[in-house]
Structure 1
Amino acid sequence: MAGAVGTLSVAGGITVAPRDGLVLRFGRNRGEVDICVGEDDLRISRVHGTLTCRGEQWWLECSGRTPIRLPHSVLLHHDAEPVPLPTGYTPLQLGGSRGREHLLELYVAGATGGRPPVRPADETEKPRRWRLTPDERLAVVALGQRYLMNDPYAQPQSRQQAAAELAELDPDGRWTHKKVEHLAAGVRRRLSQSGVPGLRMDEVGDPVGLTLVANLLRELMNSATLGAQDLELLERES
């Protein structure tokens, strides 16, 4: 049925048809909620959030002490306005104690009223890897080396830092911060034109800071265009 919502957590899940005014609660207290999440984790609130149906639209609201993390690292706090759930799949992450992350998966049925078919035997789709010139790859690897090292608090290198390192590695490459910026901007523009979000200034707003570069690096890593093996490009031959 169109508008039906399916939910799934480690503790199980439910699927319900849309009904105006219907409220589904999720959280730690199994006896008080419809979907149990983080039952053994005191960082999760007894009722951590709700799904409310208005017509055929479901709205998510946080009532817990800690925020709910939505896709693209958006945080929904308890004092924020409810947000509408889009048709299709939405993962919610609830931060628990000692670094635990509790996942609640939601799926809102579209006009066809069904979920995607189960396809266990089909060939796995390969990620879309982006073409990079040798200089482009050098530039983005230098900018994103902390990400490639799996630094949990990774930030992009500044273009000045990247240029200085590349100039020492390749003295004949005429590396400057403007060259690094130009190369990274070209990759961002190409990927943005191909539909990758978050790579333009008008999308992220002010202050931009390193946001555009960070979004670019995440896309290149998520698509397996960049990997840890690329760090070898920054190694100097002895």
Structure 2
Amino acid sequence: MVELKTESELAVMREAGRVVARALHTVRDAARPGVSLLELDTIAAQVILDAGAVSSFLNYHPRFAPTPFPGVICASVNDVIVHGIPDGYRLRDGDLVSIDCGACLDGFHGDSAISFTIGPPTEADATLIKHANEALDAAIDTARAGGRLGDVSAAVGRIGRAAGYGIPQGFGGHGVGRRMHEEPSVPNEGQPNRGFPLRPGLVIAIEPMFMAGGHDHFTTDPDGWALRTSDGSRAAHVEHTVAVTESGPVVLTAP
């Protein structure tokens, strides 16, 4: 069932979104050569704790995963698309890093992700991240009352396919609210003017995931969580939690 949020509930979700934005900003500032993914996880955990919130990810156990998620952030490096478990890997110059973070405050969740490089990016990495962010912006712009969910999905897919990227099938955005993952599902490809009606109070996470190699195939690591490009190419993942309102889309996880 899809739950539409009231104005007061959206205000709470905006505060949860600010916590997530602060955690991502702090993690990105700390990410440099020699810093481990576990250290970044600890930094994010402290930001969330200081805000009086709780992690949406820690101990989360969806049906597809063999074990609960052990971190506060998903830390996906280079050919890992999403759901990378933060571990002892130490960042190196040239790494492409995607950080996904969620926080729950006063019973409501926020969810957001960023991609960036350690040190100056190659032209290919810069273009990949740029296209992912352009797809996110285009999809957000379509999240307007009176539209359809297919408009959002089509905006992501159009940019990704035009650039020649692969899109992992079966993974994408979702509704957000009292639970981190709610209905409806928000695929990264779709048909305009089709799907669930966009109504004021609907809150969705829009999250483009692009694979530079151009193939849609991916593998799952033995941990049951991390998705990895099958050809070893790099991937980018960006995300915002967005509310549909009478006056247009509102990004709840903006800084």
| TM-score in terms of structure 1 length | 0.30
> If you compute each CA radius of gyration, which structure gives the higher value, 1 or 2?
1
Whose strand fraction is larger, Structure 1's or Structure 2's? 2
Report which structure shows greater RCO (CA 8 Å, sep ≥6). 2
